Amino acid sequence: MAYTEEELKKELETKEYEYGFYTDIESDTFPKGLSEDIVIAISQKKQEPEWMTEWRLEAFRFWKEMEEPEWANVKYEKPNFQDISYYSAPNKKPKYNSLDEVDPELLDTFKRLGISLDEQKKLAGVAVDIVMDSVSVATTFKKTLAEKGIIFCSISEAIQDHPELVKKYIGTVVPQKDNFYAALNSAVFSDGSFCYIPKGVRCPMELSTYFRINQAGTGQFERTLVIADEGSYVSYLEGCTAPSRDENQLHAAVVELIALDDAEIKYSTVQNWYPGDKEGKGGVFNFVTKRGICEENAKISWTQVETGSAVTWKYPSCVLKGDNSIGEFYSIAVTNNYQQADTGTKMIHLGKNTKSTIISKGISAGQSQNSYRGLVQVNSRAENARNFSQCDSLLMGNRCGAHTFPYIETKNKSAQIEHEATTSKIGEDQIFYCNQRGIDTEKAIALIVNGFSKEVLNKLPMEFAVEAQKLLEISLEGSVG
Amino acid sequence: MLEIKNLHASVGDKKILNGINLQVNPGEVHAIMGPNGSGKSTLASVIAGKEEFEVKKGSIALEGEDLEELAPEERAHKGIFLSFQYPVEIPGVSVTNFMKTAINESRKARGLEDMPANQMLKLIREKSEMLEIDRKFLSRSLNEGFSGGEKKRNEIFQMAMMEPKLAILDETDSGLDIDALRIVANGVNKLRGGENAIIVITHYQRLLEYIVPDFVHVLHDGKIVKSGTKELALELEEKGYDWIKQETVV
Ligand SMILES: Nc1ncnc2c1ncn2[C@@H]1O[C@H](COP(=O)(O)OP(=O)(O)O)[C@@H](O)[C@H]1O
Ligand SMILES: [Mg+2]
């Protein structure tokens, strides 16, 4: 274990959501509401080429005809989409050459988040592209990456500087009309990250992005596009925190991953949006579409630790198109108090000898509801497809719920599909055993939860694993009493 | 060291302990014997502070300090250790990690820094060698898939690591074969002497051949009905518990 006890102690002393503060930065915010005019205005604001504007408008027209999905096992008051502002950017200079130029208050925010750029720069092997509200304000390590021909920038920049790549791939994995939230995102996405790894290149560092919602009443519509060209490798980290707000905040991101022949993408997320207070008031609505496509011999791994949000609706998926391609999904989802999570994955086997692994760990406390929903689909052409799924639920107390909805559809008899599911409860005997060894209840729960989640935590890059362990502890504080 | 006075404890309406008196001095080993269901494990749990049991009357003091208000972990910090009759499994938590956490939490409570890693390693090496525990065993999930004997040996390993003032061993001998019994007893005897005290709960005289007690008590219906020296254990082995039950009826 890399974390020091001192660090843990400090974390345990913070009872309230520690990133629950609001940075007062003047913003350039659009009037509330959504129309074709707003979509055009967003596109113009970002000086996008016409094809992009058209693409957005097309998405908007799809969206207008669509209905919000009802099938997830979550209940919430639907957002009023005309009461949201669809664009907000920190008002100051949007690009900085050095830290000195950055708004001191913004820097302070980063420090409080524990991600000061200075520190990050020192943290060997991590390039940081920070999305503050909607516009990227800082990018580091660009030079090192550029030497290898790696492009890592905001999607807005990519639209300007690499239009051919964006045009070729955007919407190919998650089409505009894929679902209600994806359509909304396609119409109004404000910013996000773009990454391209050239043929045969192994990205020498973990690429990471920190997301953060800031402006009151501002929706966040991030768009991420990662392309790993033939034979390349990249590990991408995404982490986020949000300040506490009273009204619900909508987050509808789209992430598209493209792994060409023999390429590998590892995409790790530690998600910590504001979950709402103990009574279930406030909190972020997180409706995310994440999907990757694997060409021949390619591999995509999704690893996620979900501790935040009032409502989470998220199914990172793999389309195993190429023969011998591999999809993996490792997930820890924690819900406490009144949080609701409906999360899982889809593994679509199209190619021959395709393989997928699903390891899902759900932890529910308080009065929360935690659902795993997974689909394993094997097409008729997919000879010898294999899947292994394991869904474990851990319950704390009697008022929370864990639900598992595995869907299996196979059209090829050679498919081998294994599904295992367990539900356990943190027992009083386990806690007493720890207590008897001098470990208090809060710490005992953290220990048991970390043990339960170990298979997934082990999949995370080191720095992230430490962060994730801390998050698990914080998000389960006060859940047994 | 430990002073129990007129202790009554129950679960819900069920009275389990009915007036226990016991005094254990530093350096002593006490054996508690008695038929199934007589309240031996309950007594151990109540000393350790398990909240499921309600103390209705009486008191428990450790080195003159009343334990009533202390949480189980605080009692542990004061040096009480319980080797469980049925140790629980904690999946995904290695024996090493568990011990590291336990030791550092206890140190923290005493205002000490974390034990440096190399010192921890040395301690682990020493104690695992003493108890003939394979190092690989220590990376396994705590008690998960352990045989009965492995669980018990692991309990004693933890005891050795934590060096408690008062160790209560609840049927540590059950599940151990004769060789393992000897190794475990040897580990327990290492703790013996000086200031430490040990309470050995057992059904059988066998363990007491290796861990020779200073006193033997017989528990029946939540009461100590007979106390004596190690010869009493032999007598019980020979005659069973029935004569004691009869004596108490009379
Ligand atoms: N949690 C509990 N709830 C109800 N009865 C209990 C509980 N724990 C112990 N008992 C009862 O108390 C009595 C003593 O149990 P125990 O202390 O385990 O005995 P021993 O260890 O001497 O075999 C038994 O009759 C047992 O069934
Ligand atoms: Mg017992």
Ligand at shortest distance from the CA of B32: 1
CA distance A474 to A446: 9
CA distance A383 to A77: 44
pLDDT band for B200, please (50, 70, 90 cuts): very high
B120 lies within 8 A of chain A by CB: no
Tokens matching residue A284 = 């972020």
Which residues are bridge partners to A326 per DSSP? Answer: A299, A355
Query: In this complex, which of A6, A437, A455 lies closest to B102 when CB atoms are compared?
Result: A437
Q: Which atom of ligand 1 is nearest to the CA of B222?
A: 14
Which residues are bridge partners to A152 per DSSP? Answer: A195
Print burial letters for A230-249: b (CB count within 10 Å at least 16), e (below 16). bbbbbbbbbbbbbbbbeebb
Q: Do the chains contact at A9 and B108, CB–CB below 8 Å?
A: yes
Under 8 Å between Cβ of B165 and B197 = yes
Query: Cα(B147) to centroid of ligand 2, in Å?
Result: 18
pLDDT value of position B21:
96
Q: Which residue of A has its CA nearest to B95?
A: A451
Half-sphere exposure of B166 toward its Cβ, with a 13 Å CA cutoff?
21
pLDDT band for A298, please (50, 70, 90 cuts): very high
Instruction: State the CATH number of the domain containing residue B244.
Output: 3.40.50.300
Ligand at shortest distance from the CA of B34: 1
Strand bridging mode B197-201 / B29-33: parallel
CA distance A242 to A212: 5
Question: Phi then psi for A228, rounded to 5 degrees?
Answer: -110, 110
DSSP annotation of A325 reads: -
Q: Does the pLDDT value for residue A416 go beyond 70?
A: yes
Mean residue pLDDT across chain A: 80
CA distance A363 to A476: 9
Tokens matching residue A53 = 């504007």
Q: Does the pLDDT value for residue B107 go beyond 90?
A: yes
Q: Is A135 helix (H, G, I), strand (E, B) or coil?
A: strand
pLDDT value of position A134:
39
Span A143-169, mean pLDDT? Answer: 90
CA distance B221 to B125: 43
Quickly count: other Cβ atoms within 10 Å of residue B40's Cβ.
24
CA distance A120 to A115: 6
Q: Which atom of ligand 1 is nearest to the CA of B42?
A: 17
pLDDT band for A271, please (50, 70, 90 cuts): confident
Which residues contact ligand 1 via a Cβ below 6 A? B 11, 14, 16, 34, 36-42, 52
Parent domain of B34:
2-249
What are the residue ranges spanned by the domains of chain A? 20-426
**Adjacency order of strands within the sheet including A326-335:** A135-139, A126-132, A206-212, A233-241, A264-272, A299-306, A326-335, A355-364, A386-395, A416-425
pLDDT in tens, B53-100: 999 999 999 999 999 999 999 999 999 999 999 999 999 999 999 999
pLDDT value of position B235:
87
Q: Does the pLDDT value for residue A141 go beyond 80?
A: no
Question: Phi then psi for A465, rounded to 5 degrees?
Answer: -65, -40
Among protein residues, the one whose CA lies closest to atom 16 of ligand 1: B39
- E strands in A31-158: 88-90, 126-132, 135-139, 151-154
Q: Does the pLDDT value for residue A138 go beyond 60?
A: no
pTM: 0.81
Q: Which H helix or E strand runs over B142? A: strand B141-142
CA distance A284 to A251: 7
pLDDT value of position A64:
93
Supply the ipTM of this predicted assembly. 0.96
Tell me the torsion sign for CA atoms B235, B238, B244, B246: negative
Tokens matching residue A216 = 């009151």
pLDDT band for A142, please (50, 70, 90 cuts): low
From chain A, pick out residues whose CB is under 8 angstroms from the CB of B84: 433, 436
Print burial letters for A198-215: b (CB count within 10 Å at least 16), e (below 16). beebebebbbbbbbbbbb
pLDDT more than 90, % of chain A: 45
Query: Cα(B18) to centroid of ligand 1, in Å?
Result: 13
CA distance B108 to A8: 12
Query: In this complex, which of A428, A440, A454 lies closest to B92 when CB atoms are compared?
Result: A454
Enumerate long-range contacts of B239-242, CB under 8 Å, 24 or more apart. B241/B34, B241/B35
Tokens matching residue A339 = 């949080």
Query: How many domains is chain B partitioned into structurally?
Result: 1
Query: Cα(B33) to centroid of ligand 2, in Å?
Result: 10
Query: Cα(B85) to centroid of ligand 2, in Å?
Result: 6
Q: Do the chains contact at A438 and B92, CB–CB below 8 Å?
A: no
CA distance A449 to A426: 9
Q: How far is CA A133 from CA A37, A191, A287, in A?
A: 21, 9, 17
Q: Is B135 helix (H, G, I), strand (E, B) or coil?
A: helix
Residues 9-68 of A with CB under 8 A from B: 9
Under 8 Å between Cβ of A127 and A140 = yes
Q: Which residue of B has its CA nearest to A445?
A: B90
Q: Do the chains contact at B92 and A452, CB–CB below 8 Å?
A: yes
Mean residue pLDDT across chain B: 92
Least confident interval from A101-115, A266-280, A323-337: A101-115
From chain B, pick out residues whose CB is under 8 angstroms from the CB of A441: 73
Q: Which H helix or E strand runs over B217? A: strand B215-220
